[in-house]
């Protein structure tokens, strides 16, 4: 695991301290979606909806944006995107803590495989190199992420794949949290945060 600097430890400690119940109480109302080809939310004063973190988040993940060395089973893929505020301005320095199961639907709950945090660059952009999450009982295919813009609040949510048969049966799935998948090995998403 990469060592973390003291300020980043404080950032993560702040994430742990957030009362999840309070965060969930602010769940944004569902937005009407046209079902078109671009489900990524626009920065139109609708922040990205919050979702439950589920039972498998592990605090203090290492800082890294490439999970390839974990050797986890699954199809290689990249997830790219941008964090913007509700005025469409990019938000550099946003902490993004990703975690997800491997291609067989298994989480590493004792170590940090397929877990890591990174910060958006000067353009508010991020890039995660990993494997495609699999399915596990009761859930459709998804990524988990906790994010925190500088000076802002923690947003916990999940990202989904369009066209997944299991989406319809998953009570947590929301269409506005679908990524744009341009090819099987690349997905993208634009997060909208309040500042
Ligand atoms: Fe999950």
Helices (H) and strands (E) in the chain, counts: 2, 8
Residue 168 DSSP one-character state: T
Please report the pLDDT score of residue 180 as a whole number. Answer: 98
How confident is the model over 5-46, as pLDDT tens digits?
Answer: 434 444 444 444 444 333 333 333 333 333 444 445 567 778
Q: What stretches in the chain show pLDDT beneath 70?
A: 1-42
Å from CA of 55 to ligand 1 middle: 8
Å from CA of 146 to ligand 1 middle: 13
Å from CA of 18 to ligand 1 middle: 20
Q: How far is CA 143 from CA 58, 79, 89, 95, 147, in A?
A: 14, 10, 24, 16, 13
Å from CA of 172 to ligand 1 middle: 10
Please report the pLDDT score of residue 194 as a whole number. Answer: 87
Please report the pLDDT score of residue 46 as a whole number. Answer: 86
- What tokens does 36 get? 């078109």
Please report the pLDDT score of residue 130 as a whole number. Answer: 98
Tell me the chain's radius of gyration from C-alpha atoms: 16
Please report the pLDDT score of residue 42 as a whole number. Answer: 64
Å from CA of 32 to ligand 1 middle: 25
Å from CA of 142 to ligand 1 middle: 6
């Amino acid at each position: 695991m990469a060592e973390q600097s003291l300020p980043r430890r404080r950032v993560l400690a702040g994430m742990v301290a957030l009362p999840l119940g309070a965060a969930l109480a602010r769940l944004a109302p569902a937005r009407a979606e046209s079902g078109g080809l671009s489900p990524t939310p626009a920065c139109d004063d609708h922040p990205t909806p919050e979702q439950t973190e589920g039972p498998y988040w592990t605090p203090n993940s290492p800082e890294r944006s490439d999970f390839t060395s974990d050797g986890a089973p699954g199809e290689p893929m990249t997830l790219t995107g941008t964090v913007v505020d509700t005025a469409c301005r990019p938000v550099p320095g946003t902490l993004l803590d990703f975690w997800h199961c491997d291609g067989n639907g298994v989480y590493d709950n004792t170590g940090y495989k397929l877990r890591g945090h990174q910060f958006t660059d000067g353009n508010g952009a991020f890039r995660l190199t990993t494997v495609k999450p699999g399915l596990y009982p009761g859930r459709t295919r998804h990524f988990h992420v906790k994010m925190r813009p500088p000076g802002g609040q923690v947003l916990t949510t999940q990202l989904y794949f369009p066209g997944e048969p299991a989406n319809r049966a998953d009570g947590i799935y929301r269409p506005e949290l679908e990524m744009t998948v341009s090819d099987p090995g690349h997905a993208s998403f634009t997060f909208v945060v309040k500042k």
